């Protein structure tokens, strides 16, 4: 037996953790890109990072132009940005506190220790020389919480709600990053298949921690089709859309088994499964990658809403 | 111990007698201590702090923006009580708790004590904690205060006094438990050398005691569903609420999880509504039921009082018990104990002047520099004057308050609280302490866990032990025979 509010807390604890980690990777990729480009391109780069994080309007309201220092401070800790990483991690911790009786002390301590470290590192503006360490701390925080979760939690409802949050958020993030870059780089079908700006795609792969895995699978060849195959359809890569969907399916199946019945979320999930099972890279490009991603994100959001409804997250 | 200067007979030092001999309670501990290297102690002290921060045992202090959560400092020298001392305390505490419950039952029924002229009627009529809704209603098992904290102070070898009764929602028990866990983790060998009564079964005892208070018309009479009601994660004692629920295997619920469904208080689970039989609530009476009390409350459950009156849920502690926390009521406790038990109180009160009484008021006003003056409804060390350490300006301000509404105040002599050693950078040093044992009451009887929360004033010479005012805590040992 578990309270609906607690299930909601676990779900969002892991969603915020995932969001914080993905944001750190996005910044890391931007940082690297900006270092290897001239000033004008670098400014464009930071604009794209802010846009991918979904905060363009808010950023431009308080800044004249784009530069690295303002971009990462805005995303990591600026009070003008209510969705900064410090706030995200604060939300991870308050959700962990709220679900305290349903997580192991290992998970709680991993969250709490990470939060203490980040609070002190994010307390003051972050300089060029410090930003790398901050980003590494955020990624390490996520790794230690995931490790504690997998290593110490009973595979009961609590675990599956937490993991459902992970995969909903991760799928959303990968889809958004891909959509943002695709939209910027390949506005029309005629570009598909032509040689691409490998630097930009390298950055996409970096923001999903997939550079090495991709290179290994594709012997260093960078082209749009292979990247889409990798990020959308390859269910071996833990941040691909197919992987996230499949992992989410396992969590929802376990929940249905424990409850002895399925809900709307299972039905929506099945329809989405059929849809993605029929996909090939060709079909995705025929339909339009952007259209495909928008549809994927809509289904993802519908599953999340149905989970909240089916399991009485809110009064 | 080198460098430890407990002073003379006053204040009473619990480790040393005035001749410099170690008292029996501390002999085994001191044997162990003298074999420790001072560097290793220093290291352990830092470890304890880290461990509390990591595990998140923190205490929210209202009105502090910066430090939303703060640690209550932990001191690693235990406070030791002998088996004999504890036996005497137990008898006194049990007597007092029996009297408190009998008093509440009487107050909400026939009011014999008032008819007998032993306690004035105005005392509870003017009291905000008095709940007319409880009149004529008998809570399940006839128990009003299921969990009680009795605050004790010591001034001599056999002189223990009750300083306060906490019959509403005593807090701090999680510190009793975590302090012991920390001590055992830090000094495992110490516990092999000294035989100390365990406190770690408190959550099990609490669960058993609550389950024994099953309401007459329970949904699950044989295995009652127990839940802990918390105001939420921003409450100063949230850590304790979560900790106790976790250790008891009970659900930790908030008002928004609960609803009256089919005449029962039920919690919203992932598979639908599930009825609760016993609710250990850690929200105040006023917030419990917006239909009956504060209509703006979002912390409680609309309609819970109707379910309660229908005998379908037990609320622990019962609404309306807070009246016993009132310091004007406290001043009558010797009469109350005698009235209901027919015995003299085994644990005396601290001498108390009720400022409502003109003669007492005159005495108090003449002797403000010597006395401790407390607000009748105050708690947590707020709204009080400690005459001997107060600035002249403070005393003047208090005099004005006293003259304006004397019935809001009581006064007590400035007690010379006993001292215990704490660990400081310069070695052990004596500091003033008090003690809060935790008492469980059920139809099965009174259950007192051997130990409690020792609070210690960390500042040299200070008598204020409240955690909200810079006090710390210690592990409290009751030695085995």
Instruction: For residue range A107-128, list pLDDT tens digits in order.
Output: 999 999 999 999 999 999 999 9
Task: Report the C-alpha gap between A284 and A275 in whole angstroms.
Answer: 11
Q: Which residue has the higher pLDDT, B36 or A198?
A: B36
- % chain A with pLDDT above 70: 95
| Domain membership flag for residue B399 | yes
Quick check: B56 and A112 CB within 8 A?
yes
pLDDT at position B65? 40
Backbone angles phi, psi at B367, to 5 degrees: -125, 30
| Domain membership flag for residue B391 | yes
Q: Residue count of chain B, please give it.
A: 481
For residues A278-304, give the mean pLDDT. 93
Would you say residue A229 has pLDDT above 60? Answer: yes
For B273-285, b/e burial (b = at least 16 CB within 10 A) is bbbbbbbbbbbbb
Residue of A nearest to B255 (CA): A315
Three-class secondary structure of residue B464 per DSSP: coil
Quick check: B233 and A98 CB within 8 A?
yes
- Return the bridge partners of B316, or none: B280
Task: Report the C-alpha gap between B476 and B454 in whole angstroms.
Answer: 6
Interface test with A, best of B268, B270, B273, B301 (most A CBs within 10 A): B270
Would you say residue A192 has pLDDT above 60? Answer: no
User: Rounded mean pLDDT of chain A?
Assistant: 91
Q: What is the pLDDT of residues A25-61, one digit of tens each?
A: 999 988 988 887 777 778 888 998 898 888 999 999 9
Confidence of residue A197 (pLDDT cuts 50, 70, 90): low
- % chain B with pLDDT above 90: 69
With contacts defined as CB-CB under 8 Å, which chain A residues touch B270? 1-4, 7, 157, 161, 259, 311-312
pLDDT at position A36? 78
| Domain membership flag for residue B140 | no
**8 Å CB contact between B118 and B335:** yes
For residues A195-223, give the mean pLDDT. 82
With contacts defined as CB-CB under 8 Å, which chain B residues touch A308? none
pLDDT at position B4? 76
Confidence of residue B64 (pLDDT cuts 50, 70, 90): very low
**Lowest pLDDT segment from A233-247, B39-53, B74-88, B405-419:** B39-53
Q: Measure CB to CB from residue A3 to each of B56, B238, B269 and give the nearest one.
A: B269
Which phi-psi region, left, alpha or beta, contains residue A262 (left: φ > 0; alpha: ψ -120 to 50)?
beta
Distance from CA of B10 to the nearest CA of A (A): 44
Q: What is the pLDDT of residues B196-251, one digit of tens each?
A: 999 999 999 999 999 999 999 999 999 999 999 999 988 888 889 999 999 999 99
pLDDT at position B15? 95
For residues A150-161, give the mean pLDDT. 97
Quick check: B259 and A315 CB within 8 A?
yes
Quick check: B274 and A1 CB within 8 A?
yes
Quick check: A101 and B55 CB within 8 A?
no
Quick check: B246 and A108 CB within 8 A?
no
| Chain B CB within 8 Å of residue A105 CB | yes
Residue with tokens 């917030």: B287
pLDDT at position B470? 74
Write out the H or E segment, with its range, that includes residue B101. helix B83-107
User: Rounded mean pLDDT of chain B?
Assistant: 90
Would you say residue B383 has pLDDT above 90? Answer: no
Number of structural domains found in chain B: 1
pLDDT at position B8? 61
Would you say residue A200 has pLDDT above 80? Answer: no
pLDDT at position A221? 79
The whole domain housing B404 covers 353-413
Would you say residue B26 has pLDDT above 90? Answer: yes
* A-B Cβ pairs (cutoff 8 Å, strict): 65
With contacts defined as CB-CB under 8 Å, which chain A residues touch B53? 112, 116
| Domain membership flag for residue B395 | yes
**Lowest pLDDT segment from A93-102, B47-56, B158-167:** B47-56
Q: Measure CB to CB from residue B270 to each of A2, A101, A112 and give the nearest one.
A: A2
pLDDT at position B296? 83
Residue of B nearest to A111 (CA): B54
pLDDT at position B43? 86
pLDDT at position B213? 95
pLDDT at position B123? 82
Quick check: A112 and B55 CB within 8 A?
yes
Would you say residue A181 has pLDDT above 80? Answer: no
| Domain membership flag for residue B286 | no
Between the CA of residue B440 and those of B150, B212, B324, B444, what are the distances in Å? 11, 11, 16, 10
Confidence of residue A187 (pLDDT cuts 50, 70, 90): very low
pLDDT at position B39? 83
pLDDT at position B61? 43
Task: Report the C-alpha gap between B333 and B313 in whole angstroms.
Answer: 30
Distance from CA of B54 to the nearest CA of A (A): 6
With contacts defined as CB-CB under 8 Å, which chain A residues touch B232? 98
Q: Residue count of chain A, please give it.
A: 315
Confidence of residue B67 (pLDDT cuts 50, 70, 90): very low
Confidence of residue B378 (pLDDT cuts 50, 70, 90): low
Task: Report the C-alpha gap between A113 and B345 in whole angstroms.
Answer: 49
Burial of B232 (0-12, 13-18, 19+ CB in 10 A): middle
| Domain membership flag for residue B52 | no
| Domain membership flag for residue B403 | yes
Q: Which residue has the higher pLDDT, B150 or B290?
A: B150
Task: Report the C-alpha gap between B410 and B361 in whole angstroms.
Answer: 9
CATH of the domain at B389: 3.30.1490.270
Task: Report the C-alpha gap between B238 and B371 in whole angstroms.
Answer: 35
| Domain membership flag for residue B389 | yes
pLDDT at position B302? 93
Q: Whole-model pTM?
A: 0.88
The ipTM (two decimal places) reads: 0.84
With contacts defined as CB-CB under 8 Å, which chain A residues touch B238? 97
pLDDT at position A184? 52
| Chain B CB within 8 Å of residue A3 CB | yes
DSSP secondary structure letters along A30-71: HHHHHHTS-HHHHHHHHHHHHHHTT-HHHHHHH-SS--HHHH
- % chain B with pLDDT above 70: 94
For B234-263, b/e burial (b = at least 16 CB within 10 A) is ebbbbbbbbbbbbbbebbbbbbbbbbbeee
Compute how many other C-beta atoms are within 10 angstroms of the C-beta atom of residue A283. 10
pLDDT at position B47? 80
Distance from CA of B39 to the nearest CA of A (A): 26
pLDDT at position A233? 95
Three-class secondary structure of residue B30 per DSSP: helix
Write out the H or E segment, with its range, that includes residue B275. strand B272-275
């Amino acid at each position: 037996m578990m309270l609906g509010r607690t299930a909601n807390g676990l779900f969002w604890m892991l969603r915020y953790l995932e969001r914080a980690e993905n944001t750190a990777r996005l910044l890391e990729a931007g940082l690297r890109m900006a270092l290897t480009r001239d000033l004008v391109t670098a400014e464009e780069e930071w604009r794209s990072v802010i846009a991918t994080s979904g905060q363009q309007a808010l950023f431009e309201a308080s800044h004249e132009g784009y530069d690295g220092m303002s971009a990462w401070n805005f995303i990591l800790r600026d009070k003008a940005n209510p969705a900064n990483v410090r706030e995200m991690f604060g939300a991870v911790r308050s959700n962990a506190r709220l679900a305290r009786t349903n997580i192991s002390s290992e998970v709680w301590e991993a969250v709490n220790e990470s939060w203490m470290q980040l609070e002190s590192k994010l307390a003051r503006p972050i300089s060029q020389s410090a930003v790398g360490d901050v980003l590494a701390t955020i990624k390490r925080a996520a790794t230690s919480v995931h490790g504690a979760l997998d290593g110490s939690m009973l595979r009961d409802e609590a675990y599956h709600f937490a993991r459902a949050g992970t995969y909903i958020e991760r799928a959303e993030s990968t889809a958004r990053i891909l959509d943002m870059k695709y939209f910027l780089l390949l506005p029309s079908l005629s570009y598909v298949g032509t040689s691409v700006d490998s630097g930009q795609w390298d950055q996409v792969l970096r923001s999903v921690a997939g550079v090495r895995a991709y290179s290994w699978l594709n012997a260093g060849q960078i082209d749009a089709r292979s990247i889409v195959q990798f990020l959308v359809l390859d269910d071996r890569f833990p941040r691909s859309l197919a992987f996230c969907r499949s992992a989410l399916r396992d969590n929802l199946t376990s929940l249905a088994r424990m409850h002895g019945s399925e809900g709307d979320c299972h039905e929506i999930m099945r329809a989405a499964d059929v849809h993605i099972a029929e996909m090939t890279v060709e079909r995705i490009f025929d339909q339009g990658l952007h259209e495909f991603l928008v549809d994927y994100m809509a289904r993802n959001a519908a599953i999340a809403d149905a989970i909240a409804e089916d399991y009485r997250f809110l009064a | 111990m080198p460098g430890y200067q407990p002073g003379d007979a006053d204040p009473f030092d619990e480790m040393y007698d005035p001749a410099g001999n170690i008292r029996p309670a501390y002999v085994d501990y001191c044997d162990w201590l003298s074999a420790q290297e001072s560097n290793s102690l220093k290291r352990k002290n830092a470890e304890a702090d880290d461990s509390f921060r990591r595990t998140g045992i923190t205490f929210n202090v209202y009105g502090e923006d910066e430090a939303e959560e703060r640690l209550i400092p932990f001191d690693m020298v235990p406070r030791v009580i002998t088996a004999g001392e504890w036996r005497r305390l137990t008898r006194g505490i049990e007597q007092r708790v029996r009297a408190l419950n009998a008093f509440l039952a009487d107050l909400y029924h026939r009011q014999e004590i008032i008819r007998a002229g032993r306690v004035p009627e105005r005392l509870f009529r003017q009291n905000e904690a008095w709940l007319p809704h409880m009149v004529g209603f008998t809570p399940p098992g006839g128990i009003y205060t299921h969990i009680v904290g009795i605050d004790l102070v010591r001034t001599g070898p056999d002189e223990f006094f009750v300083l306060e009764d906490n019959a509403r929602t005593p807090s701090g028990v999680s510190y009793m438990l975590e302090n012991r866990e920390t001590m055992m983790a830090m000094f495992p060998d110490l516990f092999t050398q000294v035989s100390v009564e365990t406190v770690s079964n408190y959550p099990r005892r609490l669960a058993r005691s609550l389950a024994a208070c099953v309401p007459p018309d329970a949904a699950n009479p044989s295995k009652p569903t127990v839940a802990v009601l918390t105001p939420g994660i921003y409450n100063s004692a949230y850590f304790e609420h979560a900790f106790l629920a976790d250790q008891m295997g009970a659900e930790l619920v908030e008002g928004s999880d609960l609803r009256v469904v089919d005449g029962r208080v039920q919690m919203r689970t992932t598979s639908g509504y599930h009825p609760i039989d016993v609710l250990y609530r850690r929200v105040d009476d006023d917030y419990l039921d917006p239909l009956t009390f504060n209509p703006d409350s979002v912390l409680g459950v609309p309609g819970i009082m109707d379910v309660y009156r229908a005998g379908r849920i037990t609320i622990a502690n019962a609404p309306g018990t807070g009246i016993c926390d009132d310091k004007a009521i406290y001043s009558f406790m010797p009469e109350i104990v005698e009235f209901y038990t027919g015995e003299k109180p085994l644990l005396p009160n601290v001498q108390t002047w009720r400022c409502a009484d003109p003669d007492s008021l005159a005495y108090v006003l003449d002797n403000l520099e010597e006395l401790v003056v407390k607000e009748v409804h105050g708690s947590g060390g707020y709204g009080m004057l400690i005459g001997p350490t107060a600035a002249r300006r403070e005393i003047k301000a208090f005099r004005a308050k006293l003259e304006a509404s004397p019935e809001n105040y009581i006064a007590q002599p400035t007690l010379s609280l006993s001292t215990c050693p704490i660990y400081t950078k310069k070695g052990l040093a004596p500091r003033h302490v008090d003690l809060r044992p935790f008492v469980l009451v059920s139809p099965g009887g009174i259950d007192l866990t051997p130990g409690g929360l020792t609070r210690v004033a960390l500042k040299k010479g200070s008598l204020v032990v409240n955690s909200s005012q810079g006090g710390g805590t210690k592990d409290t040992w009751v030695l085995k025979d």
